[in-house]
Amino acid sequence: MRKETDSALAPDAPFALTPELLRRHDVSGPRYTSYPTADRFVEAFGPTDYAQALGQRGGAGAGALPLSLYVHVPFCESLCYYCACNKIITKHHERATEYLRYLAREVDLHLEALGATAASGHAPAISQLHLGGGTPTFLNDEELRSLMRMLQRAFHFTPGGEYSIEVDPRTIDPARLDVLAELGFNRLSFGVQDFDPAVQKAVHRVQPARQVFDLVAAARERGFESINIDLIYGLPLQTPESFARTLDQVGELRPDRIALYAYAHLPERFKPQRRIDGAQLPGAAAKLAMLSDALARLQGLGYVYVGMDHFALPGDALAVAQRQGRLHRNFQGYSTQPDCDLIGLGVSAIGRIGATYSQNAKTLEEYYDALDRGSFPVQRGLALSRDDLVRRSVIMALMCQGELMFESINLAWLIDFKTYFAAELAILRGLAEQGLVTLDLDERRGGIQVTPLGWYFVRAIAMVFDRYLQADRNRARFSKIL
């Protein structure tokens, strides 16, 4: 793509990731696992709308792309104070047995709506499965086997797919890793957050570093294709110095992928966070120092900055997909799989079918009640407008490929990009002056490209095209973009 020669948009001076630039963009904003974002879902979209969307997909027949599948397991044995996920804290493992029965009912409803009952003789194909929570490894080995047998009877797991599970290191040992491998999981995500003992105690998640190192080594011995480590900066008692020590340990561990999240302290929304002493939280300057140091350290260790808060070793499928322009984004974050429909199973799970989004009931009582009535447990959702679809294509192109060509959007949606997005392009000029994007306004070859510096702020770039966000400046419900 040709860069515009206007010096205001393509200055000769090199740009750098400076504290001033980090402070300027230290604002709240969506993570864009969807557009429109989940806070825009409405209760007017319900089970009937969802069943209709599934029926239309089922009518597409064999030509439909494989599905992505997300299963939410809400149970945890202990409470992590920073957690903002939908979870149920319990020591009563028998609750999982009942939950699995209801998951099976929900799967049966999907097969019927897709026209894929046992009598039909075919199973919908899936190329991606993710078990999240909560703590999926709350389920014991036999419960995991039961869940996977049920899913494998209902769906065809395509060869070469991504089949992942979130793992709490405190709930697993090498013998359980054998079970996960036996069940077909080929990717693991370990929740670490921080290796510092004082920080772990402050957030009520104590797990010795040696335990994580041993598990990662055991997982590699068993041939798992990719191992992810989750980290959080901005937790109580963290300092730039202490987090640097955690990053040094992560460098020794050398996972295939790293997810680096900023802690969003919203105790008014998330009750567990009220147990965190606000006086122990690092200030904005310290958080930005942690982020800046982490970006430099991880790339110095050879990690590719995939985008937003994700890093991967050059040979990992995520980094390869980015290089080849095959990166996609869904409710679990960046994905190497084709942009496909997503079925969300379980309490609070979010799905996407065609031009619709849906979310299940957020409490077990409501979830069970809907299934007892033979109804999908969908509680809210959204049927996307044409404008939503146009903007989604723009935002996802920027978030995943880091560029878009005006002509491709014009042809796909029969619009004139520069007219349709005239106000947005005016805002982008300011970001271009900061070195975050380059603009080419040529009628035929024009487009937008995120610069290497701009990748650090890709959420801010995408926010320019968010019609809802531009109309509603109350962003306090979102996490900080840095």
Return the CATH superfamily for domain 38-344.
tm_1862 like domain (3.80.30.20)
Asked if 166 and 229 count as a contact pair (C-beta separation under 8 A), the reply is: no
> Is beta strand 310-312 parallel, antiparallel or unpaired with respect to 257-262?
antiparallel
Rounded Cα distance, 72 and 134, in Å: 7
Binding site per annotation, positions: 70, 76, 80, 82-84, 133-135, 166, 193, 205, 230, 264, 350
Bond into 255 cis (ω within 30):
no
Other beta carbons less than 10 A from residue 12's beta carbon: 5
- Nearest CA to 41 out of 464, 376, 348, 460 is that of 348
Name the percent of the chain in helix, strand, coil, to the closest 5: 40, 20, 35
The CATH-assigned architecture of domain 19-33+386-471 is Orthogonal Bundle (1.10)
Which residue type is seen at 443? E
- pLDDT (tens, 9 = 90+) of the chain, 482 residues, equals 434 333 223 333 356 777 788 778 877 788 888 899 999 999 999 999 999 999 998 765 555 788 999 999 999 999 999 998 899 999 999 999 999 999 999 999 999 999 875 445 578 999 999 999 999 999 999 999 999 999 999 999 999 899 999 999 999 999 999 999 999 999 999 999 999 999 999 999 999 999 999 999 999 999 999 999 999 999 999 999 999 999 999 999 999 999 999 898 989 989 999 999 999 999 988 988 898 899 899 999 999 988 778 999 999 999 999 888 888 888 878 888 777 899 999 999 999 999 999 999 999 999 999 999 999 999 999 999 999 999 999 999 998 888 999 999 999 999 999 999 999 999 999 999 999 999 998 867 799 999 988 888 888 999 999 999 877 655 555 666 55
Residue 14: strand, helix, or coil: coil
Binding site per annotation, positions for S-adenosyl-L-methionine: 70, 82-84, 133-135, 166, 193, 205, 230, 264, 350
CA distances from 377 to 68, 146, 213 (A): 19, 22, 40
**Going by C-beta distance under 8 Å and a sequence separation of 6 or more, which residues neighbour residue 397?**
403, 404
- Nearest CA to 479 out of 286, 269, 264 is that of 264
Segments making up each domain of the chain, as ranges: 19-33+386-471, 38-344
Residue 283: strand, helix, or coil: coil
Rounded Cα distance, 75 and 8, in Å: 53
**Going by C-beta distance under 8 Å and a sequence separation of 6 or more, which residues neighbour residue 389?**
355, 413
Asked if 183 and 150 count as a contact pair (C-beta separation under 8 A), the reply is: no
- 297 sits in which H/E element: helix 284-300
Please provide the DSSP assignment of 33-61 as one string: SSSS-GGG-BTTS-HHHHHHHHHHHHTTG
Binding site per annotation, positions for [4Fe-4S] cluster: 76, 80, 83
